[in-house]
Amino acid sequence: MKNLDRFRAETVARQDPGGSNRFGEMINRYLGAVSYPDPYAVVPVKTTAGAPVKTTAGAPVTMTVTDGTVLVGVDDSAISSIAVDHAAIEAELHGWALRLVNVRRTGADEAGESLLRRLTDRVHASAPSVVVSSRLAVGAHPAQLLLAAAGDADLLVVGHRHGATSTALGRSVADRVGRHHAGPVLVVRMPGWPAGPEFGARPLVVAVDGSAPARAAAEFAYAEARVRGCDVTQLHLVGDRMDLARRLEDRDGVRVHHRIMSGDPASALLAESARAAAVVIGRSRHEVIVPTLLGPAAHLLPQRALCPVFLVG
């Protein structure tokens, strides 16, 4: 049996047959089948709109170009592979295409192209219906190049290296991208990954304080929960004028659990991140002029959360 065939067989064998929602079914396709580094050799995979694609195993897979795009920044780290898995799941959930971008200081070696081929084959192993393209960017400023490449993307995904503070001004690439990209950003921080099969059943957690960025985050959380099929836990800061007489409501098919959040918002959200599939938080690019109560949490969560973090607004 070829290596990619073996990987596919292991993936199917390890799936949780009791996935409670779409996201749970997809994430459990990856859990238990993840290995770093990937244990198989890869070959280039070309994607052509509407045409059969030959994978390493030689099986044709018909792919269809979609209107949306998920862009994921990749490098040689283990967290980058996890970020690709989450990006592929988002692409499959929304019916969007996936674009991989690797930034190298020099284009003279084959390491970047080899990485992109390996990660492309990784996506096709568990999500063969997702259209995948890749790009190698060469330059000295990874965050700037990634931001430029993501200008037309519907979602930008980046892995956060735990404890890393390299690049200009002492900020990680993930931190700079999260601060400056205009659209939604998914920062993948997954200490202790892979998690158990219950991870896919966890809710999305969103915090609101009455500000415009928080309202945008809540709407994003509802929309994401609809495609995932999961619940939303909405945390309210005291004084956000929300009537919490109804602790549970239905928002167009999404169950929303309302709770009052007291104390430091960042600490409360960090605690919730241990029980969430992802945290959604609004961020403002003009906080210096108009600060929000959740502003500090938006800066801290991508660095310390125990689950992926969506930055919206």
The DSSP annotation for 60-123 comes to: EEE----S-EEEEEE-SSHHHHHHHHHHHHHHHHHT-EEEEEEEES-SSSSHHHHHHHHHHHHH
pLDDT for the residue 239 = 56
For residue 196, tell me if it sits in a domain.
Answer: no
- Owning domain of residue 115: 3-188
Domain total of the chain? 2
Is the same domain home to 278 and 160? no
Angle between helices 295-304 and 265-272 in degrees, nearest 10: 40
H/E stretch holding 237 reads: strand 232-237
pLDDT for the residue 12 = 43
pLDDT for the residue 181 = 86
Whole-prediction pTM value? 0.79
Distance, CA of 61 to CA of 54 (rounded, Å): 7
pLDDT in tens, 13-47: 334 444 478 999 888 877 655 453 432 333 333 34
Domain end (from 188, 222, 242): 188
In terms of C-beta density within 10 A (0-12 exposed, 13-18 middle, 19 or more buried), how is residue 293 classed? middle
Distance, CA of 37 to CA of 157 (rounded, Å): 20
pLDDT in tens, 162-190: 554 443 323 578 778 888 888 999 999 87
Is the same domain home to 141 and 24? yes
For residue 197, tell me if it sits in a domain.
Answer: no
pLDDT for the residue 177 = 83
CATH code at position 21: 3.40.50.620
Is the same domain home to 160 and 233? no
Phi, psi of 182 (to 5 degrees): -75, -30
Is the same domain home to 182 and 264? no
Distance, CA of 28 to CA of 16 (rounded, Å): 6
pLDDT for the residue 116 = 93
Distance, CA of 239 to CA of 210 (rounded, Å): 8
Is the same domain home to 234 and 104? no
Is the same domain home to 156 and 216? no
Is the same domain home to 49 and 141? yes
Is the same domain home to 113 and 224? no
pLDDT for the residue 300 = 86
pLDDT for the residue 279 = 96
Q: Which residues of the chain have pLDDT under 70?
A: 1-19, 31-66, 108, 162-171, 238-246, 285-292
Is the same domain home to 184 and 206? no
Distance, CA of 169 to CA of 146 (rounded, Å): 17
Is the same domain home to 158 and 15? yes
